[in-house]
Structure 1
Amino acid sequence: MEFFSGSFQTLENSLKYASAKNRTLSNNIANVDTPGYKAKDVKFKNYLSAELESSVNAVKTHPKHLPFNQSVSQPIHTVSRDNTTYNHNGNNVDIDKEMAELAKNQINYQALVDRINGKFSSLKTVIGGGN
């Protein structure tokens, strides 16, 4: 039996993504003055694809159809933003953009933590019989 229709797994994956994004943004900010450093981003597409594929209940009706039940466990991928340069030293970290993204990501992370705490609280209430 799966508690909360798989929402714990979705929240866990979302927290992993937010943590990876936070590490990447922090690394970009730490290297704002490093000559030649290229800012990095975390790919969201992998997480979206994995989440969509895990939540779709599809039936293979033809032998040439692709299977839907394959486990999509893709690692976190970071990509460099190599196509821009903002500083004379080859660095492309825009500190204002990175700080804004970091603040947005921290708000998102806290919302996810609050949501998972709510799920655990609901579970605790059910186990305790409403007390």
Structure 2
Amino acid sequence: MTSAKEDETIDRKKQIIEAAAELFAQQGYYKTTTADVARTVGITQPYVFHFFKSKEALYLTVLGGAVQEIKSAFNLVEAPAQELEDALGGAFHSLLRGGCRNDVLLCMTAQSISDPGIRI
């Protein structure tokens, strides 16, 4: 069983990740700052660094979650080979409609980042 303080810490980290996902998806990696993330969550910028050693580490955490969400959606696709293209297209549209739009945007914009350490 976790203490109230541990629960609060876990919740705060989750809030940081969710805010960062939204900001990175909407503004991109380069235009999003850790100060933006902190302001969105209602915390100080140093508190972001309590959980993530750098903006890059935060981005990689967010991007990893996005990739997992997308992989999970496509892993659920079951269709005969001749119908697979349509089924995968349907899964992609479901991702966009089902609240995973930011995950898709994150993965797409990750390809435009020049730093190979943070590209997928």
**Structure 1 length-normalised TM:** 0.30
Query: Greater helix percent: which structure?
Result: 2
